[in-house]
Structure 1
Amino acid sequence: MTPLLEVTDLVVRYGEHTAVDRVSFRVEEGETLALTGESGCGKSSTANAVLALRRPERGSSVRFAGQELTTLRGRELRALRPRFQPVFQDPYASLSPRTPIGATITEPLRVHGRPVAGRAAELMELVGLDPAYAGRLPHELSGGQCQRAGIARALALGPRLLVLDEPVSALDPSVRAGIVNLLADLQDRLGLGYLFICHDLTLVRHFAHRVAVMSAGRIVETAPTHELFDAPRDPYTRQFLTGGRSDRRREGR
């Protein structure tokens, strides 16, 4: 069966610096793969390449439902973008401060020429956000409510894959569980695949089906979550899981 997302030999460079070094992984439909590691290990650069926001080096492969993304340009890439969408770390920064929440949520529909009528309320209800808030601006909502709006916006075009880049790390601890439970419920209901960028090991263990551990731009170990936490094979993984630091770490983007 063709994976929802298949990344092979991904290389991302910034000038002379190699941020991602021959990374390979897959995400199946309905699965959460957590990509974790120390700050600067290359997690976000990997996510940007998957989202086609950063072009990887020649020889890299990013395939969505069997279709190669790295060779697509212009209209072809635009046609495929609705099927994979991001959810960002800072819920306020990802929303326009001067645009009402309802209009922000339905903006992708307008951009892609799809019907908008009634969709704001439907999407807000889907993520547990009162449709009465559609006319409010982001600063009038809590961080958790804004993140729900960001998730609703990501779902507007009916994607199959969400790239979740630290989606709860900027939220108060009291509201994190609600967002995580929402994401789990949406995955069950919609069959979504998640690439989950996260440094919080407690959350990774609770939420992910499989885990890929990155160090210095490379994936050092990938395993089902319970196997990785119960019996990690790589020395770096063992050190990382116990809160140690490794001399393999280097700065990245």
Structure 2
Amino acid sequence: MSDLLLDVRDLVVRYGPVTAVDHVSFTLDAGETLALNGPSGCGKSSTALAVLQLRRTDGGEVRFEGRELTGLSERELRPLRPRMQPVFQDPYGSLSPRHRIRDAVAEPLKVQGRWNPADGPDRVAELLDRVGLDPSYGDRRPHELSGGQCQRVGIARALASEPRLLVLDEPVSALDASVRAGVLNLLADLQDELGLGYLFICHDRAVVRHVADRVVEMRDGRISSG
């Protein structure tokens, strides 16, 4: 029996007179990877932002774990946000250059009121280890890490919230091919271990074939096939 995690129906996103997402519908189960594939400007990232409610919708429904998100206030969304986390394309841009890695990973715990000074550092070390980084990397700053290492830090930050859904927006497109494979293998291992659902935004068909259980093709804001 499937565990429906995300149910998107007739989603519409407009920017002024331009319709970026035009009545897009799809579902995602826990433990499944659904790829949104298509060229730049086709509406993939706007769809991802709308799912996360980082961009308000102009029509349709986004149901996460059975709850309708569209129309909720930010106060109502706040307790739901930890369970649906983004991982963005730019591994360096996602991290403050002023903060040490341990502080970047700890930040979600502090923002959500779940930081305990007694065991918080051990939790950060555990998260870094889980994404394949030595806990000593916590003392470094982003410029001291490679792009692949920074993306692993971004994944660790997302995992700190104990999510059920990761929205991965071109998470490996800025990485070299050899590094890309390592990050994709990490994501696969985490999904097997934690039962995460992945909404995977990608323009690269080779990557999509490697990671996706199902593929939704987008063109000009619409689903062309699925």
| In the alignment, structure 1 residue 219 sits paired with structure 2 residue 220 | no
Query: Of the two, which has the highest radius of gyration?
Result: 1
Which residue pairs with 2:100 in the alignment? 100
Q: Out of 185, 191, 198, which is 1:181 matched to?
A: 185
Q: TM-score, normalised by structure 1?
A: 0.86
What is the one-letter code of the residue matched to 1:86?
P
SS at match of 1:60: strand
Once the two structures are superposed, residues 159-217 of structure 1 have per-residue CA deviations (whole angstroms, 9 ceiling, x without a partner) of 00000000000011120000000000000000000000001101101110000000110
SS at match of 2:143: helix
Which residue pairs with 1:34 in the alignment? 35
Give the Cα–Cα distance (whole angstroms) in 1 for the partners of residues 153 and 163 of structure 2: 16
Give the Cα–Cα distance (whole angstroms) in 1 for the partners of residues 75 and 204 of structure 2: 37
Question: Unpaired runs of 5+ in structure 2?
Answer: none
What is the one-letter code of the residue matched to 1:29?
A
Following superposition of structure 1 onto structure 2, how do residues 58-207 of structure 1 map, counting pairs within 5 Å?
A: 59-116=59-116, 117=120, 118-207=122-211
SS at match of 1:4: strand
Give the Cα–Cα distance (whole angstroms) in 1 for the partners of residues 84 and 67 of structure 2: 12
Deviating above 6 A after TM superposition, structure 1's stretches of 4 or more consecutive aligned residues are: none
Further displaced range: 113-122 or 183-192: 113-122
Give the Cα–Cα distance (whole angstroms) in 2 for the partners of residues 2 and 184 of structure 1: 18
> Identity rate of aligned residues, in percent?
69
Shift of 1:39: 1.1
What is the one-letter code of the residue matched to 2:71?
T
Q: CA RMSD in A?
A: 0.9
What is the one-letter code of the residue matched to 2:55?
R
Shift of 1:2: 5.4
Question: Unpaired runs of 5+ in structure 1?
Answer: 223-253
SS at match of 1:10: strand
Aligned residues: 221
Q: Is the 8 A contact 2:34 2:199 kept in 1?
A: yes
Give the Cα–Cα distance (whole angstroms) in 1 for the partners of residues 3 and 94 of structure 2: 32
Once the two structures are superposed, residues 124-153 of structure 1 have per-residue CA deviations (whole angstroms, 9 ceiling, x without a partner) of 011011100101000001111100000000
Q: TM-score, normalised by structure 2?
A: 0.96
Once the two structures are superposed, residues 65-87 of structure 1 have per-residue CA deviations (whole angstroms, 9 ceiling, x without a partner) of 10011121122100000000000
What is the one-letter code of the residue matched to 1:65?
E
What is the one-letter code of the residue matched to 2:42?
C
Which residue pairs with 2:53 in the alignment? 52
Shift of 1:220: 1.2
Give the Cα–Cα distance (whole angstroms) in 1 for the partners of residues 89 and 194 of structure 2: 22
Q: Is the 8 A contact 2:106 2:157 kept in 1?
A: yes
What is the one-letter code of the residue matched to 1:165?
D
